[in-house]
């Protein structure tokens, strides 16, 4: 916690996270093992992209503090805030209809808000084309993504 930025200290004090951290007996190492176990139960290695709003700093933290989790993740990131910025510039009328965010900056709230935001983009911007071969392509794309992820992971560990 001593290395937190002013923004983090201020935000996490307001939302109660600083107190939760101080009260918790879960170490970063234990949290890493718990998260990795959860990910292994629900995803194949190198297929799970890190996703959410402004997750660049999350990836840095994970790489530094939770290398086993970082090794399980796909090398790609789905940054919802990038999509938001594109929508803001390209489709301002749709951007204005975005549901408001709570800005609680707590993990589960942020995850659920990011999922809802992506659902909004999916139904309002990324509308499937008629007669698309979307379903056929999804399985093939997933297989290819896994292969590419494994190749990148192998290259990074050599």
Domain with residue 64: its CATH number is 3.30.420.10
This prediction's pTM: 0.72
Structural domain including 97 reads 23-127
d(CA 149, CA 115): 23
Contacts (Cβ under 8 Å, ≥6 apart) of 100: none
pLDDT tens digits, one per residue of 39-62: 999 999 999 999 999 899 899 999
Residue 35 lies in a domain: yes
pLDDT at 10: 79
Q: Taking 90 as the threshold, does the pLDDT of residue 151 lie above it?
A: no
Q: Based on the structure, what is the number of domains in the chain?
A: 1
Q: How many residues does the chain have?
A: 158
Q: Taking 70 as the threshold, does the pLDDT of residue 153 lie above it?
A: no
List the catalytic residues.
105
pLDDT class of 79 with cuts at 50, 70, 90: very high
On whether the CB atoms of residues 74 and 48 are closer than 8 A, the answer is yes
pLDDT class of 100 with cuts at 50, 70, 90: confident
Angle between helices 107-124 and 80-90 (to 10 degrees): 40
d(CA 85, CA 91): 10
pLDDT at 52: 93
């Amino acid at each position: 916690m001593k290395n937190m930025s002013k923004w983090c200290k201020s935000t996490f004090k307001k939302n109660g996270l600083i107190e939760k951290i101080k009260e918790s007996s879960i170490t970063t190492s234990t949290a890493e093992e718990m998260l990795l176990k959860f990910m292994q139960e629900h995803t194949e290695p190198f297929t799970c992209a890190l996703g959410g709003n402004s997750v660049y700093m999350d990836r840095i933290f994970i790489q530094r503090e939770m290398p086993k989790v970082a090794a399980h993740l796909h090398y790609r990131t789905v940054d919802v805030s990038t999509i938001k910025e594109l929508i803001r510039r390209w489709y301002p009328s749709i951007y204005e209809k975005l549901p408001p965010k709570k800005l609680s900056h707590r993990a589960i709230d942020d995850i659920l808000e990011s999922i809802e935001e992506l659902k909004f983009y999916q139904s309002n911007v990324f509308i499937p084309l008629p007669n698309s071969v979307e379903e056929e392509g999804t399985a093939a794309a997933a297989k290819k993504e896994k292969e590419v992820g494994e190749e990148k992971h192998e290259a990074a560990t050599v």
